[in-house]
Amino acid sequence: MLPQELIRLKRDGQPLAAADIKTFIQGIADDRISDAQIGAFTMAVFLNGMSREEVVALTTATRDSGHVMQWDSLNLPGPVVDKHSTGGVGDLVSLVLGPWVAACGAFVPMISGRGLGHTGGTLDKLESIPGYDPYPAPERFGDVVKSTGVAIIGQTGNLAPADKRIYGVRDVTATVESIPLITASILGKKLASGLDALVMDVKVGSGAFMPTTEKSHELAKSIASVATQAGTPTNALLTDMSQPLAPCAGNAVEIVETLELLRGERPNSRVMQVTRELAVEMLMAGKLAHSREDALSQLEKALTSGAAAEVFARMVRELGGPGDFMERSDSYLAKANVVKPVYAEQTGTVQRIDTRAVGMSVVELGGGRLRNDADVDHSVGFSAIVELGTQVDRQQPLAYVHARSEDAAERAAQQLRAAFTMGEGEASIDELLQKTYRGEAL
């Protein structure tokens, strides 16, 4: 079918055949389809939507537009599983989760990204570690996954190349907020990793990617169903992002928190509750645990024995980082020139946090990107961020700001104060773990 005919059908609300979608997407990967045609197609989808069958076809075509990893030749003695998050502020889950699950016998080839908008990027955080190589050769990637159990790297050009072109056009044609297109974009890349199972963390709240609670539910349901129908069993958890997940936001500050969590400190913190729940789902999906209780027991042993921390240390070493990073991280991580407390303008209880504003303040400090080609300052950000419901006064700051200069610190402090709403009485705090959508049940 000619590209313009496929566009016309979708423009008029007609169903598209899977074979025609596949040909169109491959044409995007091969540069036979123009940006104008991509834009027309994405707008037609944005306006008219897609059936579940069409989204499955779009997802598998995106997955198959480039290299799809195969793990059979490595004879891995366990399942290949992964997790993906829609992102947020203080969301360092991947850094703890990958090694923790690997310590229980899973193999986690985690393809992660850089910061996008107000959300922090896992790769930016890992690049706080001197020497860490997020783009190893494919053979090296496979070797590290086999020997260590986990490797967290960036997306290479030959994984789902059609998505890179489609996303670039969506970004400039006001078609980003489309559930079918978001689903195919996320899953096209993730399923190209050759997974046995996937667990998805979809955020909801003031720091979430999706604009409303309803849209977050819709996306979670779509991802669980489409991925499972595409051949990769997937469950999607809906978790709260109405406040920073960890008590920090930035790059090096989140690595510091990661190491403390892997050492078993603060096992019941909000970030560890989410990480533990995702880990349980991954072990169950990979058939490494026969029950939730079994999964929790394995995870507890991996954490308290130091096995999870050792896996993280091996991954860092194998991907070019310091061999003694766990022991001497303080001597390797960048430190900000200015570190100072940020106090609220009035005493009271934290009633609300504009989490997106906190993330954007980190970006303005230099911890994220205002332009794609910008460098990131790994030392800046916030630490010791208080949670909703905390009573603050002149002894209890909202957070500590890490900045390049006094002026930058003061600007960030003003932004942080504006992001916190203070009041009297108890704060209304949303459930951290809100719902699970299971692909096989949809």
List, for residues 170-180, the tens digit of each pLDDT value.
Answer: 978 989 889 99
**pLDDT at position 440, please?**
67
Interacting residues of 302 by C-beta distance below 8 A, sequence separation 6+:
100, 103, 104, 308
336-363: pLDDT as tens digits: 999 999 999 999 999 999 999 999 999 9
Cα 96 to Cα 226, 290, 299, 410: the distances in Å are 27, 22, 12, 32
Determine the pLDDT at residue 111.
86
pLDDT of residue 88: 87
Catalytic residues: 82-85, 122, 170, 185, 189-190
Taken in order of first residue, the domains within the chain and their CATH numbers are 72-155+190-328 (3.40.1030.10), 338-423 (3.90.1170.30)
DSSP state of 18: H
Diameter of the chain measured on Cα atoms = 69
> Looking at residue 371, what is its pLDDT?
61
Give CA separation, 171 vs 6, 54, 255, 306, in Å. 22, 22, 30, 43
Q: Which pLDDT belongs to residue 403?
A: 98
pTM for the model:
0.93
Supply the pLDDT for residue 208. 85
| Predicted local distance difference test score (pLDDT) of residue 152 | 96
At 177 the pLDDT is 85
Note the pLDDT of residue 375: 81
CB-based contacts of 3, cutoff 8 Å, min separation 6 = 24, 27, 33, 37, 41
Which regions of the chain are under pLDDT 50? 441
Please tell me the predicted confidence (pLDDT) of residue 114. 66
